Amino acid sequence: VNPCCHYPCQNSGMCVRYAAGRFECDCTGTGFYGDNCTPSPDTVHYLLTHFHWLWELINTSFLRDVLMRVVLTVRSNFIPSPPTFNSKYGYLSWESYSNLSYYTRLLPPVPEDCPTPMGTKGKAVLPDPAVLVERFLIRKTFRPDPQGANLMFAFFAQHFTHQFFKTHHRMGPGFTRALSHGVDAGHIYGDNLERQLQLRLHQDGKLKYQLVKGEMFPPTTKQVPVTMSYPDSIPDHQRLALGQEVFGLLPGLALYSTLWLREHNRACDILRAEHPSWDDEQLFQTARLIIIVRPDYSNRISLEFNHLYHWHPLMPDSFLVDGQDVDYPHFLFNTSLLLHFGVEKLVDAFSRQEAGQIGGGWNVHRRLQKVVELVIKESRDLRVQPFNEYRKKFELKPYKSFYEFTDDQEMARQLEELYGDIDALEFYPGLLLERTRHNAIFGESMVEMGAPFSLKGLLGNPICSPVYWKPSTFGGAAGFDLVNSATLERLVCLNSRWCPYVSFHVPRNERDRRRREPTTEL
Ligand code: HEM
C-alpha cells in the first residue's frame, strides 16, 4: 500500500514516497517536528482558549486592532503563496506553478493507488451522488437564513465570484477560463482583450449600452456580437451582451452587470470632467481600476474554494418581484424582467426576499439538483481529499464520528451507513451537512475554510500595495473619492432614478419595510 494513502503527515507536512512502503514527512517550515510533523503542545491554541479575562481586556482596548491584523495575517497564511499543487500534480512542479489554466489545489489529490477512494478509510465504493443529494440536500420546505441574508446578497456573491470561478468544462473540471485568478472585473469587461474591445464604446472610455425608456442597460448581442450562452428560445432583443458569458442566466446577475456598467460609465464622466486631455484609452483604463478596487481580490484560485462556494441553498422556491410570484422557468434567462421592471424594482425585490440557509442540509431547490450532484461527481474525478483532512489543514479538530459532526441522529446514522467512516466523508457534503452554528447561515468549517481564501486575496492584491494605492492611480482626488466612498447603496442609488430599499439583509424594522417609493433622496 502507498503509505501516503494514510495521510501520515500532520500540520501541512509533505508526504514523500520511497521504495518498499517507506515514506518521509517533510516538515520544513511547518513549525512541527518528528516523523509525522506533530506538535509540541499547541501554545497558540492554549492561549486562545484560556485566560478569558485577558481576552476581555484586549477586546475592549486599542490592542484589538493590532491583534485583528495579526489574526487576519495568520488566517490568510493557510493559503500557500506561491501556489502549490493542482489536479494533475500532487507534488511541486514548474508546470503546476506556471500553467495558469489549472485551478490550484490546497491539498494534493488522493494518490491513484490507494485501497479506497478516500485513501484507506471508508468503503470501496463511494455513495451514489444522486442518493446523497436526494437524501440530505434536496429541500423539503424552505428554511430561511437565520441571519437574514437576502437575494441581493445571494446574487452579489454569485456575480462577484463568477469572475474567478469559470470552469473550463471542455478542458476538464480541473481547469479555469479566468486566467487572471482574481478580481480583475473580467465579468464586466470580458476575460480576454478581444471581448473587451467589442464591449467598449471606444469613446470617452465608456462601455457600449442601449437605452430602454431612457435608461442605460447592457447592449444586445445584435449590437455587440460576443458569445453568450442563451437557450435558442430567447429572442434577439432579450439577449444581453455581458462581460461574463453565462450572466444571461439570472436577472439578478444581469442586474449587477447593469449597475457596474452604469457605474463604469459614470466614473468616465467624472474623470473626463477632471481630465479633458485624456483619450478614450486612459479614461477606460482608469475607470476600470476604480471599478476593480472596490471589491479587491487576487491570488491563485483553488478548486476547493470553487467547490466550497457552491452556495445554491441560498436560492428560494420562487422569486417575488413587484407583487408577482415568478417560478424558475420564468426566471431563468428571462432578461426581460430587468428591462421591464428596471433596476429600482429589482433591487427592492431582491433586498426584501430572504435567502435560504446554506448549511444544515435539505435546503437545495429541486431545480438545482444537477448542479450539486455535479460538484460531488467532479470532486471524485479530481480525487479531492476527505473533509477531515481539510479540517486538519485549517487547524480544526477532525470529527471523530458522524454523531459529533451533525446533531441529526438519523442523518448521522445514514451517513455512517453510506460512508462507513467519518474519515471518508467527502469535502463538499461535509461543508453543507455539518451542524450549523447557532442561528447562523452555515457551520464552522465553511467559515474557517472560506475566510482564509478570501483574506489571502484581500491582503495579496497589488492594488493594495503602496505602489498603486494613491490618488493618481485613480485619476486624482475625484477618482480616489469614488473608490473610498464605495458602498452598495451608492452603487445602486447613484445609478438609478429613485433609491429603493437596498441591503444585504431583509428589512429589520418598520422604517426599512416602508422604504419603497420613488424618492429624490440622494
Ligand atoms: C455553477 C446554476 C445560483 C455558485 C453552476 C452551474 C449551473 C448553476 C448550471 C454549472 C454547473 C457546471 O456545469 O459546473 C445555478 C442557478 C442558480 C445558481 C440556476 C440560481 C437559480 C448560484 C448561487 C451561487 C452559485 C447563488 C453562489 C452564491 C456557483 C459556483 C459554480 C456554479 C461557484 C461553479 C462555477 C464554475 O466553476 O464555473 N450554477 N446557480 N450559484 N454555481 Fe450556481
Q: Which residue has the cell 475554510?
A: 449
The number of helices, as runs of H, and strands, as runs of E, in the chain is 22, 8
Q: What is the pLDDT of residue 407?
A: 96
Q: How far apart are the first and last CA of the chain?
A: 68
* Rounded CA Rg of the chain: 24
Q: State if residue 167 touches ligand 1 by the CB under 6 angstroms criterion.
A: yes
pLDDT number for residue 512: 75
Asked if residue 39 has a cis previous peptide bond (ω within 30° of 0), the answer is no
What pLDDT is recorded for position 305? 93
- Residues 67-73, mean pLDDT to the nearest whole number: 56
Give residue 454's pLDDT: 77
Summarize pLDDT for 155-194 with one digit per residue, the tens.
999 999 999 999 999 999 999 999 988 888 999 999 999 9
Q: CA 438 to CA 276: how far, in whole Å? A: 56
The enclosing H or E element of 412 equals: helix 409-419
User: Taking 50 as the threshold, does the pLDDT of residue 298 lie above it?
Assistant: no
CA 162 to centroid of ligand 1, rounded, Å: 9
Q: Is 307 tagged catalytic?
A: no
Q: Is 159 exposed, middle or buried (0-12, 13-18, 19+ CB in 10 A)?
A: buried
Query: What is the pLDDT, as a whole number, of residue 88?
Result: 96
User: What's the CA gap between 377 and 117, in Å, rounded?
Assistant: 12
pLDDT score of 74: 56
Residues with Cβ within 8 Å of 445's Cβ and at least 6 positions away in sequence, in order, are 387, 390, 391, 394, 396, 430, 431, 434
Alpha-carbon distance of 423 to 119, in angstroms, equals 9
Query: How many beta carbons lie within 10 A of that of residue 485, not counting itself?
Result: 9
pLDDT at site 103: 96
Total Cβ atoms within 10 A of residue 198: 16
pLDDT tens, 81-115?
888 999 999 999 989 988 999 999 999 999 999 99
Average pLDDT over residues 12-22: 88
Residues in the chain, total: 522
Cell of 512: 426599512
Among 142-146, 481-485, 509-513, the least confident range: 509-513
Q: Residue 415 has which C-alpha cell? A: 451517513
Q: Averaged over 194-212, what is the pLDDT?
A: 97
Q: Measured in angstroms, how far is the CA atom of residue 31 from the centroid of ligand 1?
A: 38
**Whole-structure pTM over 0.90, yes or no?**
no
The predicted pLDDT at position 522 comes to: 39
pLDDT at 476 over 80: yes
Higher pLDDT, 221 or 97: 221
pLDDT over 90 percentage in the chain: 72
- pLDDT value for 475: 87
What residues does 240 pair with on adjacent strands? 220
Q: What is the mean pLDDT of residues 315-328?
A: 97
Q: Which protein residue has the closest C-alpha to ligand 1 atom 8?
A: 371
Place of cell 503546476: 96
Alpha-carbon span 73 to 52, nearest angstrom = 23
Hey, which of 310, 332, 363, 441 would you mutate to test ligand 1's pocket, going by the most ligand atoms within 8 Å of its Cβ?
310
Residues 6 or more apart whose CB falls under 8 angstroms from that of 440 comprise 146, 147, 359
Q: Which atom of ligand 1 is nearest to the CA of 155?
A: 26
Task: Using CB atoms within 10 Å of the CB of residue 472, give its burial: 0 to 12 exposed, 13 to 18 middle, 19+ buried.
Answer: exposed
Q: In the 8-state DSSP scheme, what is residue 137?
A: I
Cα separation, 500 vs 203, whole angstroms: 31
- Which cell is 118 given? 478516500
- Give the bridge partners for 15, in sequence order: 25
pLDDT at 292: 83
DSSP string for residues in 234-289:
S-GGG-B--SSTTTTS-HHHHHHHHHHHHHHHHHHHHHHHH-TT--HHHHHHHHHH
367 CA: nearest ligand 1 atom = 19
Confidence of residue 469 (pLDDT cuts 50, 70, 90): confident
- Binding site membership of 314 for ligand 1 (Cβ less than 6 Å): yes
Alpha carbon of 310 to ligand 1 centroid (Å): 6
Q: For ligand 1, is residue 374 a contact (CB within 6 Å)?
A: yes
Ligand 1 atom 28 nearest Cα: 158
Who wins on pLDDT, 513 or 283?
283
pLDDT tens for 26-67 read: 988 888 888 999 875 455 555 566 666 665 665 555 555 555
Q: Which one of 162, 187, 307, 310 is the catalytic residue?
A: 162
Distance 311 CA to ligand 1 centre (A): 8
At residue 521, the pLDDT reads: 42
- Percent of the chain scored above 70 by pLDDT? 89
Q: How far is CA 63 from the centre of its chain?
A: 31
Mean pLDDT, all residues of the chain: 90
Residue 517 reports pLDDT greater than 60: no
- The residue whose CA has the least distance to atom 20 of ligand 1 is 315
Higher pLDDT, 181 or 202: 202
More confidently predicted of 28 and 423: 423
Q: Is 333 in the pocket of ligand 1 (CB under 6 A)?
A: no
In short, whether 355's Cβ falls inside 6 Å of ligand 1 is no
Closest CA to 306 of 432, 442, 453: 453
CB 441 within 8 A of CB 359: yes
- Which atom of ligand 1 is the closest one to the Cα of 371? 11
Cell numbers standing for residue 244: 461574463
Closest atom, ligand 1, to C-alpha of 331: 21
330 an active-site residue? no
CA distances, 489 to each of 294, 481, 486 (Å): 13, 16, 8
Q: DSSP E strands: which ranges in 162-241?
A: 210-212, 215-217
- With a 6 Å cutoff on the Cβ, whether 156 touches ligand 1 is no
The one-letter code for the residue type at 323 is: G
Grid coordinates in use for 220?
Answer: 444586445
Is the shortest distance between the CB of 376 and ligand 1 below 6 Å? Answer: no
- Of 309, 399, 419, 428, catalytic: 309
Q: Do 419 and 409 meet the contact criterion of CB atoms below 8 Å apart?
A: no
